[in-house]
Amino acid sequence: MEALVKESKTSVSKKVMTGAEAVICSLLEEDVDTIFGYPGGAIMPIYDALYQYQDQINHVLVRHEQGATHAAQGYARVVSNKVGVVFATSGPGATNLITGIADAQIDSTPLVCITGQVPSALLGTDAFQETDVIGISMPVTKWNHQVSDAREIPEVLAKAFYIAKSGRPGPVLIDITKDAQFASLEFEYKKCQNIRTYHPRPVLNKERLKEAADLINKAQQPFLLLGQGVLLSHAQDTLRKFIEKADIPTAWTILGLSALDHDHPLNVGMLGMHGNYAPNVLTNECDLLIAVGMRFDDRVTGDLSRYATQAKVIHIEIDPSEIDKNVKTDVAVVADANEALEALIPLVKKAKHQEWRQKFADLHKIEEEKIIKKDLYPHEQGIKMGEVVRRISEQTKGEAIVVTDVGQHQMSSARYYNFKKSHSNVTSGGLGTMGFALPAAMGAKIGCPHREVVAIIGDGGFQMTLQELGTIYQYDIPVKVVILNNGFLGMVRQWQQLFFEKRYSFTEMKNPEFTTIARGFSIESEKITSRDQLDDAISAMLEHPGAYLLDVVVEKEENVFPMVPSGAAVSEIRME
């Protein structure tokens, strides 16, 4: 019975329609419920076709195409197995997508971006709003393709969705000429199951698994590093069982954040430049590193030549090109993280690493004394970022989706929000795109309307995409926006202070009154300047049913510590 139902779903009867309508019907076949987009000349036929399908598919008119990509990213990160879908016109519409596409590529986020293109007869002539978006997006897409024949549309879109979400996910761009949108075709949709040159799901190599299990069973001081691959393969529960059985302290990259409950006794914190003290120091003391679904980014490893050289390395990773790219492995398991961990569990022995775990606890105590207490319970007058984040964490019981921008507030949020649920941290990690958070929060809220979505943004980054308040207003998207307002491009100022003798070259900002701006968009808001207002302001924000902006004026010249300065080894992490 079930098989029959599925049959009828994949083989829709042939219907003659325009290329533009075929685009919409293809999206419906892929169960797309939301499109983030912005119209213009070259994509007008598709928007016209969309007009008749408004009851079946939701379109969100953003205020800038970059916002569409980030919104689609936010959506895709929090909704299981969904692809973020973006529409834009040719020329400037298409080029405005590039930052978001690059961000999605480096952070492995599945997107399908559809751009209109000038009529095929005008291609290559510098026609009005013609840009070679295929050429421009080639280095930052997983795949791209230009359609100039309407009959290709169903097949190409089926391929686009398959490629975007399979294997290591990523963005796909499909450019469709205007004449192909107008031309007609017989629409028949078949979901893509297979591309002969593309093998997204590697076969698990049992030998490698045995070797890995062997190393794990012999290790005295094993250490696991988890990345976003764990979330992408929904391996969070399997991973927890695995580390519990083998008793392995586990740290995370910023994109792996929320895969492991903050309060789990084996969770030892964040890796890398502004990560926690213990996991950074002990990276250079462990005897076995088990990296799962992460890519040893330079912000994680610090000086590679002094990174975990004493340890054996197991790398579990779906993308073979990541193996040995930065860190040489002893055992490489090219596999889906969940599949590999499930197969490993029966092969590893139950273990206890009491002394080793104590080392993490001891170092954590030092960080607690030297940094965490000062961040959370400061004696200075100014509000610190850490305490704001921790109050939000407490008031949302660690159950919100937290969307952050780029800078000091991003690091503070990663350090001090105590995540209880997986797939709850949305941030721009690899590209570090300021302006990401506001639109990404919109997308996350649309994807998960029943969850609280809190965007934590710097005053600098907020001003990069604040026009999206218009989208939030128009569609009544109840996101909570917290600006940690230090009047500086904080993270850059911190570097200037530490590495450029306090020469604050163009990092101070004269900011507008953010509450006034919010009012212009009919968004409730409050500005606070002192600690005793904090709890009430946060609860007022959370209790408000609609969108809300909270401008928290924080300490101007706070620094985020610990810090691994660039070029230093992870074990040379600075506490001040």
The closest alpha carbon to 27, from 191, 194, 170, 147, belongs to 191
Q: Kindly tell me the sign of the dihedral angle through the C-alpha atoms of 32, 37, 42, 45.
A: positive
Respond yes or no on whether the N-terminal peptide bond of residue 562 is cis (omega within 30° of 0). yes
When asked if residue 449 is in the footprint of another protein (CB under 8 A), the reply is no
CA geometry: angle at 433 spanning 422 and 420, to 5°? 15
Note whether 483 and 541 are within 8 A (CB).
no
What type of residue is 63?
Answer: R
Instruction: Give 80's contacts (C-beta < 8 A, 6+ positions apart).
Output: 234, 423
d(C-alpha 421, C-alpha 438), whole Å: 21
Q: Which of residues 149-168 bind another protein (CB under 8 A)?
A: 163
Instruction: Give me the catalytic one of 44, 129, 370, 395.
Output: 129
DSSP secondary structure string for all residues of 261-286: -TT-TTEEEE-STTS-HHHHHHHTT-
- Closest to 105 in 3D by CA, of 135, 139, 78, 74: 139
Q: CB under 6 A: which stretch of 81-89, 329-337, 360-368, 489-497 binds ligand TPP?
A: 489-497
Least distance in angstroms from the C-beta of 372 to another protein: 39
Q: Is 491 a catalytic residue?
A: yes
Contact range with another protein by CB under 8 A, out of 130-138, 302-310, 478-486, 503-511: 130-138
Contact between 407 and ligand TPP (CB under 6 A)? yes
82 tagged catalytic: no
User: How far is Cα 84 from Cα 34, in angstroms, rounded to an integer?
Assistant: 8
Which of these segments, 2-10, 56-64, 306-314, 456-464, binds ligand TPP (CB under 6 A)?
Answer: 456-464
Segment near ligand TPP (CB under 6 A), from 113-121, 137-145, 224-232, 488-496?
488-496
Exposed (0-12), middle (13-18) or buried (19+): which is 33, by Cβ within 10 Å?
A: middle
Q: Which is nearer to ligand TPP, 229 or 386 (CB)?
A: 386
Q: Which of 575, 208, 215, 95 is CA-nearest to residue 371?
A: 575
Interface pattern 311-350 for another protein (x via CB under 8 A): --------xxx-xxx-------------------------
Q: Which one of residues 433, 465, 496, 511 is an interface residue with ligand TPP (CB under 6 A)?
A: 433
**3 state DSSP class of 203:** coil
Q: Which does 199 bind (CB under 5 to 8 A by kind): another protein, ligand TPP, none?
A: another protein
| 90 part of the interface to ligand TPP, by CB under 6 A | no
Contacts of 11 (CB under 8 A, 6+ apart): 188, 190
456 has which bridge partners? 404, 482
Q: Which of 39, 227, 386, 460 binds ligand TPP (CB under 6 A)?
A: 460
Quick one: which of 2, 51, 135, 503 contacts another protein (CB under 8 A)? 135
Among 458, 472, 517, 573, binds ligand TPP (CB under 6 A): 458
Question: Which residue's CB is nearer to another protein, number 110 or number 279?
Answer: 110
Q: By CB under 6 A, tell whether 481 contacts ligand TPP.
A: no
Residue 490 as a binder of ligand TPP (CB under 6 A): the answer is: yes
| Cβ-based neighbours of 371, under 8 Å, separated by 6 or more | 277, 561, 562, 575
Of the pair 5, 203, the CB lying nearest another protein is at: 203
Among 64, 82, 142, 240, binds another protein (CB under 8 A): 142
**DSSP label at residue 370:** I
> From another protein, ligand TPP, none, which one binds at residue 434 (CB under 5 to 8 Å depending on kind)?
ligand TPP
Nearest to 215 by CA among 335, 323, 338, 344: 344
Among 148, 408, 425, 525, contact with ligand TPP (rule: CB under 6 A): 408
The correct pick among 92, 124, 139, 265 for binding another protein (CB under 8 A) is: 139
Among 489, 517, 523, 569, binds ligand TPP (CB under 6 A): 489
Pairing of strands 184-187, 15-18: antiparallel
Q: Quick check: 304 binds another protein (CB under 8 A)?
A: no
Q: Which is nearer to ligand TPP, 283 or 463 (CB)?
A: 463
Catalytic residue among 159, 165, 178, 445: 178
Would residue 462 show up in a list of annotated catalytic residues for this protein?
A: no
Residue 128 annotated as catalytic? yes
**Cα 287 from Cα 350, distance rounded (Å):** 18
Please identify, among the stretches 122-130, 233-241, 307-315, 453-461, the one whose residues bind ligand TPP according to the rule CB under 6 A.
453-461
User: Which option in ligand TPP, another protein, none does residue 323 bind, with CB closer than 5 to 8 A by kind?
Assistant: another protein
Q: Which stretch binds ligand TPP (CB under 6 A): 66-74, 297-305, 490-498, 526-534?
A: 490-498
Catalytic residue among 17, 270, 491, 541: 491
Q: How buried is 193 (Cβ within 10 angstroms: 0-12 exposed, 13-18 middle, 19+ buried)?
A: exposed
Packing angle between helix 236-246 and helix 337-344, nearest 10 degrees? 30
Residues between 198 and 217 that touch another protein (CB under 8 A): 198-199, 201-203
Residue 16 has, within 13 A of its CA and on its CB side, a CA count of 2
* Shortest distance, position 245 Cβ to another protein, whole Å: 30
Which runs of consecutive H residues, i.e. helices, occur in 219-262? Answer: 228-232, 236-246
Least gap, CB of 484 to ligand TPP (angstroms)? 6
**CB-nearer residue toward another protein: 11 or 321:** 321
Other Cβ atoms within 10 Å of 132 Cβ, number: 14
Count the site residues for another protein by CB under 8 A. Answer: 22
Q: Where are the beta strands (DSSP E) in 266-338?
A: 267-270, 288-292, 312-317, 331-334
Q: Which is nearer to ligand TPP, 229 or 490 (CB)?
A: 490
Q: Nearer to another protein by C-beta: 61 or 134?
A: 134
Residues that bind ligand TPP (CB under 6 A): 405-409, 432-435, 458-461, 484, 486, 488-492
The residues annotated with a catalytic role in the active site are 65, 128-129, 178, 491
Residues that bind another protein (CB under 8 A): 134-135, 138-139, 142-143, 146, 163, 195-199, 201-203, 319-321, 323-325
